[in-house]
Structure 1
Amino acid sequence: MDEAPEKYPGRRPHRPTDVQRRLVQMLAAEGIPQREICRALEIDPKTLRRHYRRELDIAAAKLESALTFHLLRIAGGRGAVALKAIRFALQSRFGWSEFAPRPPG
């Protein structure tokens, strides 16, 4: 006797759980690369981006704010490291360049 064909050939559709959603957000917020998150969940990168877009976006915002806070804390200090942090913050966040012409006035 032949068995009935499966409704979905290949892998079953991915159905994210709340635990998986929290895991993705936590790992991404810590800066873990997407390929490593995929490995942990045993899913394809395309599946990760399709089903966890919101979690990835929230995690990216959390990571950026944490790094910015840390950078500004360092920039508030003294010495060469603080000066480098200030210059980096001005260049990356505000488009400042030491080579740009000075504004008139």
Structure 2
Amino acid sequence: MSRNGRPPYEPTDGDRQKVKTLVGIGVPQADICKVMQISKPTLRKHFKSEIETGQLEADIALRQSLFRMATSKTKPAPGVAIFLAKVRLGMKEPPQSVELTGKDGAPVENRTTVVNEDAVKAVVQKLEEKY
């Protein structure tokens, strides 16, 4: 009796590299399945290792690249060094504060003005008539 249906899927080395790369750059598994033209169960069955290690290897490569950029003698990247110092070493910038004072360091003077509502209405009415 012959088997009907699709032959079993056999991934190539190129397929494995492609899946590992897609996982590493954060492509969702559903989209990887579309690109590879396979089902989710087939992806998980044949590419378990690539799914488990793809993101980790991409993260390691990114960290190495950032570290090289931050410590480069020829093309230093101070922004990257600051980012790594904040993320890896827990450093942070001191809080910025603004001190407000009045004339010659005296306290700020607060004034309250009482407005005559009838006067405001009269001015608004004049403006409405004019414009």
**TM superposition score category, shorter chain reference:** 0.5 to 0.7
Runs of 4+ in 1 over 6 A off after TM superposition: none
Distance (whole Å) between structure 2 residues aligned to residue 26 and residue 89 of structure 1: 25
Alignment match, 2:86: 91
> In the alignment, which residue of structure 1 is the partner of 2:22?
27
> Is 2:26–2:55's contact at 8 Å kept on the other side of the alignment?
no
Residue 58 (structure 1) aligned to one of 53, 58, 61: 53
Judged with a 3 Å threshold, the aligned counterparts in structure 2 of structure 1 residues 26 and 97 are, in CA distance, closer, same or farther, namely same
Aligned-pair distance for 1:72? 1.1
Residue 17 of structure 1 aligns to a residue in which SS? coil
Q: What is the Cα-based RMSD across aligned positions, in Å? A: 3.6
Amino acid at match of 1:74: M
**TM-score calculated relative to the size of structure 2:** 0.47
Provide structure 2 residue ranges, at least 5 long, that are not aligned to the other structure: 95-131
Q: Do the aligned partners of residues 67 and 28 (structure 1) sit closer, same or farther apart at CA in structure 2, a change above 3 Å counting?
A: same
2:67 matches 1:72: yes
Distance between the aligned counterparts of 2:48 and 2:63, measured in 1? Answer: 22
The one-letter code sitting in structure 2 at the alignment partner of 1:72 is F
Choose 1 or 2 for highest CA Rg: 2
Match 2:11 to one of 5, 11, 17: 17
| 1:60-82 alpha-carbon deviations (Å, 9 max, x no partner) | 1221121111111211147xx72
Separation in structure 1 between the aligned mates of residue 91 and residue 10 of structure 2, nearest angstrom: 45
Tell me the TM-score normalized by structure 1.
Answer: 0.55
- Alignment length (residue pairs): 88
Measured in 1, the distance between the counterparts of 2:31 and 2:90 equals 35
List alignment gaps of at least 5 residues for structure 1: 1-10, 101-105
Ranked by relative contact order (alpha carbons within 8 Å, sequence separation 6 or more), the top structure is: 1
Tell whether the 8 Å contact from 2:11 to 2:46 is kept in structure 1 after alignment.
Answer: no
Identity, % of aligned positions: 22
**Helix, strand or coil at the partner of 2:92:** coil
